[in-house]
Structure 1
Amino acid sequence: MTDQFLIECPHFDPATGQARFTYALDGLRFVETLDLPKGADIAAAASPNFSKLLDLTAIVLGVSYFKLKAPFEIAAPDIALNEAERAFTIDVYENGMGEFYARNNLLRFGKLTITAPHDPSEHQPAITLPQRTLLPIGGGKDSLVSVDLLSHTGVPFTPFAVNPKGPILTSVATIGTPPIYATRTLDPEMIRLSQQPGFYNGHVPSTAMNSMIAALCAVLFGYNQIVLSNERSASEGNVEFDGRETNHQYSKSLGFELLIAAILSDATGGALKYFSLLRPYSEARIASLFTHETRFDRVFSSCNRNFRLTGNDGPLWCGECPKCHFVFLIFAPFMPKERLLAIFGKDLLDNPAHEASFRELAGLAGQKPWECVGEILEAAACLYTLTRHADWHQAAVVRAIKADLLAQYGEPKLQAAMAECLTDSHDHHIPPALAAKVAAYAV
């Protein structure tokens, strides 16, 4: 068994904007590079705040290499961590990797350790960051709803992405605001080994990784808040494994948001805020908000299968995966059928071959798919709404599922669930003044 995953001290060259992260595992050595835009503030790059964030970024990015063997010990001999940062590290490598462990049948919860020098300080000295917003863009519906909300509440923002491609590029072009892009280059040997016998592969917490990279850019280029677009549905897990709920979207959950927000705040002396603008909303509520704006209809995509490397050289939606099915389902109650069919190119609810997938989404069979989809009861409520919708009640999937849907949940529960989906939650981390502005617009 591999004894230890080693994280070495990272290095950043402000002249080139390149950061280098080095890892060692089972006699193997890996180097990853991260290219940030040139022109960063030199004083910011030399600050203890940036150094702390760079160290924490090295730890979070390391999961891509750790997972090849998934040892029980993580070692960072040149990276000093306080108690909160140690807890954060273990959380990323345990809960953030929960799906990876579940699908590889690896028992790691409560068993991982981190060996690193002790940092006695609870937080770094305060720095001053301009009141500006960095908005990660994922190319899907969620971040584009955030674009609409920020635009209509008078909050200027800069789009941000790591390794932008396909729908991210077309969405940012439609937004029309100059972005900040970062390029992450994984060690090719890690990618090769992940496909070889004797090595593990699987899901990693990409939102956690991209958030740390966004934090580096926030300090280097002067932004005091990173605004995510994670909905409340992201907090629901997929399965129970090894005595714990595992969640494909863990690093999008409210629990992780609060944890990383505290870490980023401490690293910047309270200067950097991190929160999700869509946390009060269900996926269905977000879908209803998306219908207010049409300019992104032909450029956005939430389909992971068709997230192409070079532009939109094919259909944006495969129409076959659970993600496509879920997004189609939550749009259907709120968007005119003609517009929805124009976006997807076909009617996903009128194909009998899709019935099994929709049954899984609604909790009628199997388990919640390992995808960024909403809550099971939310999907069931949307399907119930379609059984009473003039445009959709005769669709093949809706007709096939209706009886079982009503038998399992009952009409009162489904009606209440739909009402709850459209009721905004107060369980969020949005600054009060901004929350009030957004609530006033999002009616």
Structure 2
Amino acid sequence: MDGSPTASAPSVADPSFDPAAFDTFEFSGVEVDEASATVALRYRLDDVAFEETVRFDDVAWPQDEARREVLRRLARLLHLLAGVSYFKTAAPPRIAFAPGVGGLDGSGAPSPRLRALLRDVYTLGLGEFAYRNGVDVRRRGALPDAVGTPAGPVELAATGRTLVPIGGGKDSVVALEVVQRAGRDPLLFSVGRPVPIVDCVAVSGLPHAVAVRRLSPNLGDLNASGALNGHVPVTAVVSTIALMTAVLHGADEVAMANERSASEGNLVWDGLEVNHQWSKGAHFESELGALLAEEVSAGLGYRSVLRPAGELAIARAFSRLERFHPVFTSCNAVFRIDPARRGTRWCADCPKCRFVYLALAPTLDPSQLEAIFGTDMLADEAQQDGFADLAGLREHKPFECVGEEAESLLAMRLIAEGVDEDGRPGRDAWVDHAVVRRLRDEHLTGLVPLPADPHRDAAPFVLDDAALRALPLDLQDAVVAVLGTP
């Protein structure tokens, strides 16, 4: 989903910012203003101060003490996870906690479980940043040795309401369909109000909770004057904001739309797996869920309802949700912080546009996809290499939220070999498109034959049984109904 923060007003930065000159990144403090439903997150990089705010719109802070305490703990967690945006400006050798900061219960040092999560977020979550900047984050940001003993979880009464983060793309729309099919009471959520999100909410007709994230005003200037910059595990931050929003609105679960392909890395660099989608993966989900149960509230759930499914199964399910076809988008150009650089719907020339187009092609015809994207991308020979990269046929999988290489390869084969949804040959809608012809001629010959009914039996369409059984029974049934074989 979109987690793009709102840009703050610029400030004057030191034009000679030298990342190597800094020694310590400090978590300075977090302040909750219940009256304005705003959380202030404060940090220091030696003598450089940062302050980020998150405001929860159109909601009153709860009066019951249990929910207030859960919100305080989640605010402390948000403080720790959102700090990654500021730590990365220099990736200094040490991390420190100001007095009274660190544990979720306000007692000081983080627990062993929380410490392990932070270590992963600030290393594995920064894998792409490390690779692109040539910075080994495993040797940066050393945490203090001290660990604390956390207070037990807070008991929250069940409400039966489920918060569904909506990002404007196909995955969150399918996750919403699963939650509704399970008979649950959904509340939609987003960080900010990008047009595609607002449009998807309008089509759904459901209530919509919004949080507004404002980065520290000096961050952009520091990035422009020499600070290290790059991808951060934004889903970790958005997830925590979503959890706070759920508690504020009386929901007891957050239903994410992270599919199993999010756990596949892009490459391995010097022994470090680099995964653009690390905080969407199963490992982070498991770590956060365990932390919530032990140190926040066992009555507050966090899980992805799409974890059992591959991208092609999700795309197939989305192809049937035609009311969302005119309004959805997954293109990053729409969610840029700078309004002057922001697109409208699809740029039709980036890895995400190419992947969504390719994933939908086995179930939608060229005219349907051209109506969505405004162009026939598979007829544009200039995009052939970009499509090939999705399947790892030239380079590693792009650093974007795209599916597994095997999924892209199967989608290419289905349209190149003319296989329809019943597994029969003869679907010639795509076979003569320029990109499809070149992919077939240059990359798709001599491969192992497809299963007799690939839409049913090929691995990208098969639900993962272990991930399915990890869901509550009502969601298991809904996932099978929405994402299983027709």
Q: Same fold (TM over 0.5)?
A: yes
Note if 1:22 corresponds to 2:42.
yes
C-alpha separation in 1, matches of 2:128 and 2:452: 29
Return the offset for 1:319.
0.6
2:305 is aligned to: 277
Tell me which residue corresponds to 2:77.
Answer: 56
C-alpha distance in structure 1 between counterparts of 2:452 and 2:118, whole Å: 40
Deviations 1:236-269 (A, max 9, x none): 1001113121100000001111111111222333
The answer to whether the 8 Å contact 1:74/1:114 transfers is yes
Give deviations 1:116-141, integer Å, cap 9, x for gaps: 86331363232324221000001100
Q: Identity of counterpart residues, as a percentage? A: 36
Deviations 1:329-352 (A, max 9, x none): 010001133211111111100101
Once the two structures are overlaid, the 10-residue window that deviates more, 413-422 or 378-387, is 413-422
- Tell me how far apart the structure 1 counterparts of residues 446 and 88 of structure 2 sit (CA, whole Å): 39
- Secondary structure of the equivalent of 1:194? helix
Question: Take 1:336 and 1:145, find their aligned partners in 2: how far apart are those partners?
Answer: 20
- Check whether the contact 1:4–1:26 (CA below 8 A) recurs between aligned residues: yes
What is the aligned partner in structure 2 of residue 181 from structure 1?
210
Deviations along 1:41-91, whole A, 9 cap, x unmatched? 023587433222111110101111111001132212322211100001111
Give the SS at the match of 2:75. helix
**Residue 305 of structure 1: SS of its match in structure 2?**
helix
Matches within 5 A, 1:348-387: 348-387=377-416
Residue 88 of structure 2 contacts residue 229 of structure 2 at CA under 8 Å; is this kept in 1?
Answer: yes
**2:441 corresponds to which residue?**
403
Structure 1 residue 401 displacement after superposition: 1.3
State how far apart, in whole Å, the 1-side matches of 2:199 and 2:51 are: 31
Contact 1:307-1:316 at 8 Å conserved across structures: no
Per the alignment, do residues 150 and 125 of structure 1 end up closer, same or farther by CA in structure 2, a change over 3 Å counting? closer
* Matching residue of 2:331: 303
Q: 1:334 aligns with which of 358, 363, 382?
A: 363
Aligned: 1:9 with 2:29 = yes
Q: What amino acid does structure 1 have at the position aligned with 2:71?
A: F
Q: 1:109 aligns with which of 138, 156, 161?
A: 138
Aligned to 1:430: 471
State the partner residue of 2:173: 144
Segments of 5+ residues of structure 1 without an aligned counterpart are none
Task: Say if 2:263 and 2:278, in contact at 8 Å, map to a contact too.
Answer: yes
Aligned-partner residue type, residue 62 of structure 1 = G
Q: Give the letter for the 1:9 counterpart.
A: G
2:331–2:352 Cα contact (<8 Å) kept: yes
TM-score scaled by structure 1? 0.94
Can you list the C-alpha shifts for 1:356-380, whole angstroms capped at 9, x where unaligned? 1011111110111010000011101
SS of residue matched to 2:302: strand
In structure 1, C-alpha distance between the alignment counterparts of 2:271 and 2:481, rounded to whole Å? 42
Contact 1:205 1:250 in 2 (8 A): yes
What is the aligned partner in structure 2 of residue 130 from structure 1?
Answer: 159
| Distance in 2, Cα, partners of 1:272 & 1:100 | 31
The question of whether the paired residues in 2 share the 8 Å contact of 1:195 and 1:201 is answered with no
Task: Name whichever of 207-216 and 259-268 sits farther off.
Answer: 259-268
* Change in CA separation of 1:125 and 1:27 when aligned onto 2, cut-off 3 Å: same
Q: Tell me which amino acid in the other structure corresponds to 1:138.
A: G
Q: Is the 8 A contact 2:196 2:329 kept in 1?
A: yes
Aligned to 2:187, the other structure's residue is in SS state strand
Displacement of 1:12: 0.5
**Is residue 393 from structure 1 mapped to residue 431 from structure 2 by the alignment?**
yes
| Structure 1 residue 111: Cα displacement | 5.1
Are residue 75 (structure 1) and residue 96 (structure 2) matched? Answer: yes
Match for residue 317 of structure 2 among 282, 289, 297:
289
Amino acid corresponding to residue 474 of structure 2 in structure 1: A
2:60 corresponds in structure 1 to 39
Does the CA contact (< 8 Å) of 1:337 and 1:391 recur in 2?
yes
Residue of structure 1 equivalent to 2:351? 322
Change (3 A) 1:104 1:415: farther
Structure 2 Cα separation of the partners of residues 202 and 441 of structure 1: 36
Which residue pairs with 2:225 in the alignment?
196
For residue 400 of structure 1, report the CA deviation from its aligned partner: 0.6
Give the Cα separation in 2 of the matches to 1:177 and 1:7: 37
Q: Distance in 2 between matches of 1:437 and 1:204?
A: 32
- 1:203 deviates by 0.4
Letter in 2 for 1:58: H
In structure 2, C-alpha distance between the alignment counterparts of 1:45 and 1:220, rounded to whole Å: 12
Moved more, 151-160 or 246-255: 151-160
Listed as ranges, the gaps of 5+ residues in structure 2 are 1-19, 104-109, 419-427
Contact 1:44 1:219 in 2 (8 A): no
Equivalents in 2 of 1:292, 1:441: separation in Å? 10
Q: Aligned AA for 1:170?
A: D
- TM-score, normalised to structure 2, is 0.86
Deviations, residues 204-249 of structure 1 (Å, cap 9, x unaligned)? 1111100011111222332110000011111110011131211000
Shift of 1:414: 11
Paired AA for residue 262 in structure 2: A
Q: Judge conservation of contact 1:48–1:124 (CA < 8 Å) in 2.
A: no
Aligned mates of 1:24, 1:121 — CA distance in 2:
25
Q: Against the structure 1 CA distance between its residues 171 and 431, is the aligned structure 2 distance closer, same or farther, given a 3 Å change threshold?
A: same
Give the secondary structure class of the aligned counterpart of 1:115. coil
The one-letter amino acid of 1:329's match is: L
